[in-house]
DNA sequence: AACGCTGTATTATAATATGAAACAAGAATC
DNA sequence: GATTCTTGTTTCATATTATAATACAGCGTT
C-alpha cells in the first residue's frame, strides 16, 4: 500500500527544498520557493530554518534570501577521501594528463545521468573544462555512452525502454537504433568517442573502469578541443594512453583484463 | 517558549544522520547509527530510505550499509559557480600559484571553524596538500587566524569569550593573551603566518580578502613545507606575492585599499 | 503616509513520525 | 548442518509534530 506520489513527508520536502537551489537559481526567498514547490510559506520557512541550523543553507543577513550552505564542502571531503574509486583514481588521472596534456575527468552514473566526480585540467592554453558535478544524459557524449555501454544488460534495456532521446546539440544521437548500434560498437572497441554531442567543438574519449565482475564502476575520459581531436597522431596517442591507463586502473580495482 | 535542545524535529534528525558520515566513519548500518545518535532503529531506517530516494545517501546493494550519495557533487557545482568569491578567486589563485610554486588555498569561516573551499596544488615534488572541505578551529593556523583577525570586533569578542583553546599540535597557540596579541599583530601586519600549528612541518601564510566594508570574506593562503618556509628569500617572495594578489582580489571585490 | 511586498511568529487542527515488537535473511558459532 | 546471534526491514496503535491560515513586523516604493 503506497502513498500517492504527490505527497511528501517532511524529510522529502526538505530535500526538495535543497535541490531547488541550482546553478540557474542559486538563491530563493521563502515565498518564491513556496510558490515554486507548492508548499505553504510557513512550511518552507520552518524547513529552511531547520536546514540553516545545520548550515545546509545560509541566509544572507541583509536580503534575508537563502542560498546553499557550507556543509557540502565537508561532504565532498568525505566523499573524495572514502569513495574507493576516487582515492585510487588520482595517480592514474595524473599520469594520463601528463601523457596527453588534455583535460582528464572521471565520471559515474547517477540515476539516468552521467556526473563528473573528479577532473584534472589540461595545462594547455586552449583546453576543455569539465567541472566537477556537471551532468549529461546517458546517451550524449563519450563518457555517458561508455558508462551505458559497459553497464549490465538489464540496466541498458531498462534505460533504453524508458528514455526519450532529446538532442542536446545537432550531433547528439537521437535515433534509438543508432544508439543501440553505437553501444555494440563501443563494447567491441573497448572505448567510446564523441565530437560535439554535448558541447559544440568539444571532442571526448572515454574508457571504462571495471570491477572484478566486469561491470562499469566509472568512466575515465579525455576532453579534447576539436582542433586537436582531429589531429590523427595526437588522437591515436590519446586513445592508446587512455585505454592503457583505464586497463591498469581496472586491474588495480581487481578486474582481470586477460580473462574477459 | 523553546523546546528542550535534546529533542529534534524530523528534518533535524535527518541532518544529524547525514552529518554522522565522516572521513573516520564513512559507512553506517541502521542499528549502529541508531545507537550512535540515540534514535530508534525504525526512525533511522525511515530517514535513510527517504534520503536514499533523493540520493543524499547510497546503499550498498550487497552489504546493505549506507554511505553518502552523489547529490553533493551537484551542490558543489552550484556552490562553486554561484558563490561570488569562488568565481572571482580562480585567476588570482592561479597567478599566485605560478608565482610561488606553492599550494594555494581559499578559506572561509563556517561557524567557529575555518573551512577550505578551493585549492590549487603546488607543481613541486615536495608539497603541502589542503583538501577542499578540510577544517580547523579559528585559533590554529595562518588561515584561521587571518579570518579571525579581520572579522568584526563583535565577532572576535564573542568567539574569544566562548572558545576553549585546545592544542592541536605542540605549536598551537593556547594562551588567550597570546592569541589576542597575535590578532593585533596580524591586523597591523596585514597577513598571518604559522608554522606547524595544525600540521607538524607545515608552514602557512594567509592574507584577507575584504569586502567593501573592510570585513573579511575569505582568506587566501599558501601552504608551504617547512624546509622552503625557512628559506628567507623564498619566504619573502611568497609574502610579497600573496599580499599583492590578495589586495588585487579585494579591490576586485569592491574594497578600496587606499582608503583603509 | 499608505500600500505592497518581504520574512517570520502563532496556534488550533489534522496528519505524520514514533518506537516496540515482529519478521526475514545472512553470518558466525557450535 | 543446525542453532543462535546478528543484521536490515516492516508493521501498527499512539502521541507527537507538521501543517496552513492568519497575524505581525520590517522594508521599499508609490
d(CA B210, CA B213): 7
Is A1 inside a domain boundary?
Answer: no
Average pLDDT for consecutive 10-residue bins of chain B (260 residues)?
50 90 89 88 90 88 86 88 81 94 94 91 86 92 97 92 93 95 97 94 95 86 94 96 95 72
Q: Check whether residue B158 and residue B223 sit in a common domain.
A: yes
Tell me which residues of chain B, numbers 28 to 47, contact chain A at a CB-CB cutoff of 8 Å: 47
Q: Check whether residue B161 and residue B212 sit in a common domain.
A: yes
CB contact under 8 A, B115 and A73: yes
Q: Check whether residue A58 and residue A180 sit in a common domain.
A: no
Angle at A140 between CA A135 and CA A143, to 5 degrees: 70
CB atoms within 10 A of CB B190: 16
Is the pLDDT at A127 greater than 80? The verdict is yes
Q: What is the CATH number of the domain that holds A171?
A: 3.30.450.40
State how many domains chain A has. 2
Q: Which of A73, A111, A122 to mutate to test the interface with B (most CBs of B within 10 A)?
A: A73
Is B2 inside a domain boundary?
Answer: no
Q: Check whether residue A83 and residue A65 sit in a common domain.
A: no
d(CA B193, CA B173): 12
Which of A52, A69, A86 corresponds to the end of one domain?
A69
Strand C proximal to A42 Cβ, under 7 A: yes
Q: Check whether residue B206 and residue B124 sit in a common domain.
A: yes
Touching check for B7 and chain A: CB below 8 Å?
no
Tell me which residues of chain A, numbers 164 to 183, contact chain B at a CB-CB cutoff of 8 Å: none
d(CA B76, CA B199): 26
Q: Check whether residue B218 and residue B115 sit in a common domain.
A: yes
What would the pLDDT profile of A142-158 be if each residue is shown by its tens digit?
999 999 999 989 899 99
Nucleotide nearest to A39 (CA to C1'): D20
Is B247 inside a domain boundary?
Answer: yes
Q: Check whether residue A17 and residue A48 sit in a common domain.
A: yes
Q: Check whether residue A101 and residue A176 sit in a common domain.
A: yes
For residue A5, the model assigns a pLDDT of: 33
Q: What is the CATH number of the domain that holds B58?
A: 1.10.10.10
d(CA B204, CA B120): 14
**Residue (of A51, A128, A95) closest to B19 by Cα position:** A51
CB of A172 within 8 A of CB of A178? no
Q: Check whether residue B88 and residue B54 sit in a common domain.
A: no
Q: Check whether residue A207 and residue A248 sit in a common domain.
A: yes
N-terminal to C-terminal alpha carbon distance within chain A: 44
For residue B84, give its domain range. 75-252
What would the pLDDT profile of B82-129 be if each residue is shown by its tens digit?
877 777 898 999 999 999 999 999 999 988 999 999 999 888 878 898
Tell me which residues of chain B, numbers 134 to 153, contact chain A at a CB-CB cutoff of 8 Å: 134-135
Task: Copy the grid coordinates of residue A209.
Answer: 573502469
Q: Check whether residue A197 and residue A82 sit in a common domain.
A: yes
What would the pLDDT profile of A172-221 be if each residue is shown by its tens digit?
999 999 999 999 999 999 999 999 999 999 999 999 999 877 889 999 99
CB atoms within 10 A of CB A57: 23
What would the pLDDT profile of A47-75 be if each residue is shown by its tens digit?
998 999 888 998 887 788 898 988 898 89
Distance from CA of A188 to the nearest CA of B (A): 29
Q: Provide the positions of strand C that have an atom within 7 A of a protein CB.
A: 5-11, 16-21
Strand C proximal to B13 Cβ, under 7 A: yes
Q: Which of B54, B73, B114, B119 to mutate to test the interface with A (most CBs of A within 10 A)?
A: B73
Amino acid at each position: 500500500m503506497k502513498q500517492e506520489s504527490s505527497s511528501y513527508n517532511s524529510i522529502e520536502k526538505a530535500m526538495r527544498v535543497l535541490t531547488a537551489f541550482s546553478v540557474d537559481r542559486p538563491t530563493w526567498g521563502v515565498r518564491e520557493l513556496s510558490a515554486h514547490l507548492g508548499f505553504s510559506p510557513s512550511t518552507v520557512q520552518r524547513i529552511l530554518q531547520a536546514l540553516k541550523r545545520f548550515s545546509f543553507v545560509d541566509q544572507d543577513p541583509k536580503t534575508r534570501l537563502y542560498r546553499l550552505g557550507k556543509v557540502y564542502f565537508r561532504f565532498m571531503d568525505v566523499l573524495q577521501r572514502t569513495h574507493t574509486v576516487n582515492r585510487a583514481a588520482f595517480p592514474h588521472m595524473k599520469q594520463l594528463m601528463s601523457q596527453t596534456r588534455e583535460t582528464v575527468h572521471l565520471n559515474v552514473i547517477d540515476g539516468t545521468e552521467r556526473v563528473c566526480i573528479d577532473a584534472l585540467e589540461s595545462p594547455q592554453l586552449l583546453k576543455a573544462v569539465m567541472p566537477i558535478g556537471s551532468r549529461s544524459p546517458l546517451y550524449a557524449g563519450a563518457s555517458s555512452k561508455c558508462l551505458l555501454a559497459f553497464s549490465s544488460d538489464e540496466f541498458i534495456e531498462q534505460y533504453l525502454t524508458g528514455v526519450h532521446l532529446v538532442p542536446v546539440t545537432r550531433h547528439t544521437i537521437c535515433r534509438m537504433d543508432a544508439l543501440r548500434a553505437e553501444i555494440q560498437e563501443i563494447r567491441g572497441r573497448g572505448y567510446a568517442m564523441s565530437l560535439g554531442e554535448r558541447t559544440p567543438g568539444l571532442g571526448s574519449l572515454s574508457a571504462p573502469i571495471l570491477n572484478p565482475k566486469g561491470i562499469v564502476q566509472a568512466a575515465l575520459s579525455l576532453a579534447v578541443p576539436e582542433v586537436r581531436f582531429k589531429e590523427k597522431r595526437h588522437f591515436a596517442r590519446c586513445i592508446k594512453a587512455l585505454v592503457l591507463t583505464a586497463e591498469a586502473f581496472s586491474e588495480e580495482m581487481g578486474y582481470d583484463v586477460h580473462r574477459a
